[in-house]
Amino acid sequence: MSLGKLDNCPRCDTLFVKGVRDVCNNCYQQIEKEYAKCAEYLRKRENRGANIHQVSEATGVSIKQITKFIKEGRISVANNPNMGYPCEGCGLMIISGTLCDDCKKGLQREIGYDKDLAERLSAEEEKNRKSALAYKSRENKQ
Ligand SMILES: [Zn+2]
Ligand SMILES: [Zn+2]
């Protein structure tokens, strides 16, 4: 029975045995240390209103990693009202999902547009097919 398979750590690229964690042990400990730093910083009353940039600057932890903590629910946005992470589309601060409302709407518009286009194209195809058929049947009659 195998205990886990070898994989590259997504954080440092070292080969490790993939198990309960999706990063290697070294990175796991690093991340835990980073989390402890953030948690300690946010525990202080005067830092309650800090935003992600301030936390990143004060702790040296990357915005990306803090974003992960927030998404994992380890850093609570409810307890830290100014915490949030940048939208992947425009960088606006958000507290859930990966995109802000505007980008989500933009994405929906894009998808809607493509759907319209696809429908128009298939209608066009259908028309061409029908006229080709009509042409053929005329041909057969002659
Ligand atoms: Zn690693
Ligand atoms: Zn956005």
Domain ranges of the chain: 100-142
pTM for this model (two decimals):
0.71
pLDDT value at residue 2 = 53
pLDDT tens profile 106-134: 988 887 777 777 788 788 888 888 887 77
Ligand nearest to the CA of 9: 1
Determine the distance from the C-alpha atom of residue 141 to the mean position of all C-alpha atoms in its chain, rounded to a whole number. 60
Q: How many other C-beta atoms lie within 10 A of the C-beta of residue 16?
A: 20
Measured in Å, residue 106 CA sits from the centre of ligand 2 at: 9
Q: Which ligand is nearest to the CA of 99?
A: 2
Given a cut of 50, is residue 1 above it in pLDDT? no
Sign of CA dihedral 53, 59, 65, 70: negative
Q: What is the pLDDT of residues 55-87, one digit of tens each?
A: 999 999 999 999 999 999 999 998 898 999 999
Q: Who has greater pLDDT, 137 or 24? A: 24
